[in-house]
Chains A and B, each alone.
Chain A
Amino acid sequence: MLTHDSDALGERVRRITARVLPRAAVVLVTSLMTVLSGVLLAAASADTPAGWQNAPAVSGFDFLLVLFLIPVSLALVIAFLAFVPTLVGDHGYQPGQSWRGESEWFGGPRRGIAAADEVTSDRLEAAASETGSTSGRW
């Protein structure tokens, strides 16, 4: 009987502790935050120390100029400078364009098309007799 009572009491204490402890922690943290923010706000709104020079007056235009107009202008200039190469850069052959006439040979001889002009008929016949070829149109 006594054991049963003590178990029930222990269980009750545990439940109360589990309920109260988180609340106490929340109250403690909230109080600390309030006190800290009050201290910080007080520091922020403090007067200029006596030893310092008085801050010069800032007009509304100056405020806008420094905090809004100059940053926005800089951002626009940077964006423009970043965009310029895409406007003037060479994009190469684009779909739908007519071919520009110049030919390109990738992986060809160093002398380019001139090497093909110098191929002798014997060499051409020898090579052509054993090659395979496929063609297509689009």
Chain B
Amino acid sequence: MAGGEPFSAAQRAEIDRAIRGAETTCRFEFSVYVGASDGESHPFAQRLHAALASPARSVLILVDPGARLIEVVIGSVVRRSLSGDSVRLAVAGMQSAFAGGDLVGGIKHGVAQLADAARAPATLHG
């Protein structure tokens, strides 16, 4: 197994599908980086986020399975719709799944949870 692709084609498709679903749900961009951080994880996650096409409207999730850590970076526009509590809740859900060894499931769940939280609330009046 060593040296090959870390995810199987099916797992990759599952994560892609989760990202597409999340983007459809809340109309923000989602990006998931899985791998080792280059240096400190937080600045590295910030750099990845800044490299995205539209950082202000993007959510970046960094998962470093080797160091067992998660970083979630939220763009300025997304922050208006996504509260810190919602992000912490999604991170807690991912931590729980990753601790149980479910990397793909945790990513899917985290992305979906963030998208649901970022979805603009339905207006009750016209």
Contact = CB atoms under 8 A, between A and B. Distances in A.
Interface residues of A, number: 38
Given A97-B1, A132-B74, A138-B95, A103 B68 contact: no
B56 A136 contact: no
Contacts of B48: 105, 108, 113, 116
**Dominant SS among interface residues on chain A:** loop
Nearest to A99: B65
A103 B48 CA distance: 13
Interface in A96-138: 96-109, 113, 115-116, 118-119, 123-124, 127-128, 130-138
Contacts, number: 171
B25 interface: no
A93 B51 contact: no
Given A128-B50, A131-B55, A137 B68 contact: yes
Contacts of B96: 138
A135 B46 contact: no
Interface residues of B, number: 66
24 contacts: A92-B9, A93-B7, A93-B11, A97-B1, A98-B66, A99-B6, A99-B36, A100-B2, A101-B3, A101-B35, A101-B36, A104-B6, A106-B19, A106-B31, A109-B51, A115-B51, A124-B47, A127-B49, A130-B76, A133-B42, A134-B71, A136-B92, A138-B68, A138-B99
Given A106-B19, A134-B84, 19 more contacts: A90-B8, A92-B5, A92-B104, A99-B36, A106-B16, A107-B32, A109-B52, A118-B51, A119-B50, A127-B75, A131-B55, A131-B76, A133-B74, A134-B87, A134-B88, A135-B42, A135-B72, A135-B91, A138-B98
